[in-house]
Each structure stands twice: as C-alpha cells, then as structure tokens.
Amino acid sequence: MFKANFWKLIQSFLNFLKQLLIAHWRSLLVLLIGVYLPLQVFGLLALEVWENEGGFSWDELILLAIHTTSHSQLDVVAVTLTKLGSVWTVFPIVSGIALVFLIYRRWRSLAYLLTTALGSTIINRTVKIIMHRVRPQIWESPSPEFDYAFPSGHAMTSMTLVAALVILTWGSPWVVPILIFGSVFVVAIAWTRLYLGVHFPSDILAGWMVSVAWAIGVSLLIKPHLTKAIAVNDDDTLDENETSLSPEETHSLNEN
C-alpha cells in the first residue's frame, strides 16, 4: 500500500515537473545560454588572471599581432574611436533613451535600462579593484591608461548598451539594425583597446561575458519584454504593462 502511494507521488511530481519545464523551457534556455555560460567563461578568465596576472599565453600573442598593423594614421583613428566606448560618451545616449521612456511612461523599460547601465558600472569598478590587474606594458601606448585592466570598462560599457537595446527592441523591426550596427560598434571599441595596448584580449572577453550575463539576467527579473507580446495598436494594454506591476510582482511585494 505504501509503495503504491509512494509511486503515485513520484508520478505526480514527475508530471508536474514535465509541465513546469514545458511552461518555462524558453526562460530556462535563456538562463543557461545567456547567463550561466557567460558567467562560466568569465569565471574561468578571472581565475586564471587571479592566479597569474600575466594571464593567458594568447593574450600577448594577439596584442603583438595587432601591433604589427600600427601606423600613425591608425593611431589617430583608434584614439578618437575609443572615446565612443567610454562612460562619458555612452552616458548621454542612455540619458536620452531614458528621457524618451520617461516622457512616454515606459516605467518597466526605464527601470530595466537604468538598472542595467548602473549595475554594469558598479560591477566593473568592483571587479577591477578586486582583481587589480595592471595594464599591458608591451609598448608605449599613444593613449595610456593608469587604472586597473580587468575587465575592460570600454568593453563592458559598449556591450551593456548594445545588449540592453537588443533586449528592449526584441520582437520589433529595430532589433536587426541594432544587432548589426551594435556588433560593429562593440567589435570596433574592442579593437581600439587592443590596438592602443591598454587591454589584454582576456580583459575584453571578460567584459563582454559579464555584460551579457548581467543584461540578460536583469531582463529575466524586470521583464521589459512583457510589452512585446502586446499588440502594437493596443496602447492601453501596453501602458498598463509598462506602468503597473505584474501579478507575481504585486504578490511578492505584499509578502514583504
């Protein structure tokens, strides 16, 4: 009798688990590919840098290969272009987008954008202080940097901006051009940091990984993509989803 009831309990649980996985398989897949795997890569990079400040053997090899292309005119291009990936350049862009969200009462999108941008900056500064990896000193850079290197702030800033914009425009016609131009922008900023000799490639890769994980992780909590399921012409429903908490969020707030 006990065995029969116990087996029924197991079957009931397995049936529930199956339904749960079917209902949430997309979120679980995003969590695995978009958060867990990037954090795993970042963790491996951070561990190697922690144990050996010189990092990986391919760090210096890639830098030297890029340095063979150095030219005075390219120096000017790199020094100018790299400024586009700085916080001081991205901040006005984020502020402009945030202002648009504020005017049109897109609270959820605004909360996601600000949380992602501010959190990325805090993560970068914190990890740099913890890891205290010195900058490459292979050649004299035309635009030297003097703070810590790991992870790259420019790589994180550019990737966070593009990743956030992709998530915010997911399901709309804007996502394709943002993916294309955003990818070019991210790679271009990374090239400038390597060309100028102010970052190791592992700094860049680490910055990309933690930025992707952070942007996607925050999106799973704030869910700015809730509005993508709403019809374009259903403005009232769109506003309600942007300006109101979901039932789950309201329930969690009441419990606290």
The arithmetic mean of pLDDT across residues 103-115, rounded, is 91
Checking if the pLDDT of 57 tops 60, the result is yes
pLDDT digits (tens, 9 = 90+) for 183-198: 999 999 999 999 999 9
pLDDT digits (tens, 9 = 90+) for 135-144: 888 888 888 8
Q: What is the DSSP string of the chain?
A: -HHHHHHHHHHHHHHHHHHHHHHHHHHHHHIIIIIIHHHHHHHHHHHHHHH-TT--HHHHHHHHHHHTT--HHHHHHHHHHHGGGSHHHHHHHHHHHHHHHHHTT-HHHHHHHHHHHHHHHHHHHHHHHHH-PPPP-SS--SS---S--SS-HHHHHHHHHHHHHHHHTTTSTTHHHHHHHHHHHHHHHHHHHHHTTSS-HHHHHHHHHHHHHHHHHHHHHH-GGGGGGS-TT-HHHHHHHHHS--HHHHHHHHH-
Question: What local confidence, expressed as pLDDT, does residue 233 receive?
Answer: 44
Question: What local confidence, expressed as pLDDT, does residue 10 receive?
Answer: 78
Task: For the full predicted model, state whether its pTM sits above 0.85.
Answer: no
